[in-house]
Amino acid sequence: MNAAPYSARRLAASSTILGACLLLGAMMGCGDDNPVKPPNPGPKYLASSTPQNTLENLRRAYTTRDSTGYDSLFDPRYQGTSIQSGMPLIAFTYSDERRHIGALANAASITSVELFFPPLTRTTDLGDPPGWATIQVQNVLLQVNDGTSSLNLEPDETMEFKFAPTTPSAGSPTDTTWHVIRWTEIAP
């Protein structure tokens, strides 16, 4: 058997494979220019340096069912209430909020959670302790879907959030961190 033709065929095949690999590598790019590499999404949460940022963080934590992120947004003295026409007042505590987000996080049947707030305006309620802030919103979109059904808020429900500041707060760009201390839901 003549070894020269076999070596030439082997060399040609190896060269073809090497050429294809180099061409593929050039098409895909390399290093930091690799188009397959996902872009840096940035921080998951905003600094809770304003009540508006805290509410946006609440939205992000709730929709991703992040119990740790959600818990961190509430003051330990938190008190929530739900008022619905013809129904008794329902009161919530910090522990209740923790259990709620934990149940959402552990519910395998839930396929999606959506929460959107309309534009947020910060106000001050003279009946609150000094330094607190208030944001009142109406027509909040909240949907919890489990594949076969969807839980939605009443269209004209009003929510009022009250925020307590923590100052000084190391790491905050404003030297203040805001936490939800009251949350009132009023359904028609």
Q: Which amino acid is present at 171?
A: G
What confidence tier does 72 reach under pLDDT thresholds 50, 70, 90?
Answer: very high
**Per-residue pLDDT tens for 9-35?**
444 444 444 444 444 344 444 555 555
How far is the C-alpha of 108 from the C-alpha of 133, rounded, in Å? 36
Q: What pLDDT shows up at residue 15? A: 44
Nearest-5° Cα angle at 69, 68 to 70: 90
Whether the pTM exceeds 0.85: the reply is no
**Per-residue pLDDT tens for 73-131?**
999 999 999 998 889 999 999 999 999 999 999 999 999 999 999 999 999 999 999 99
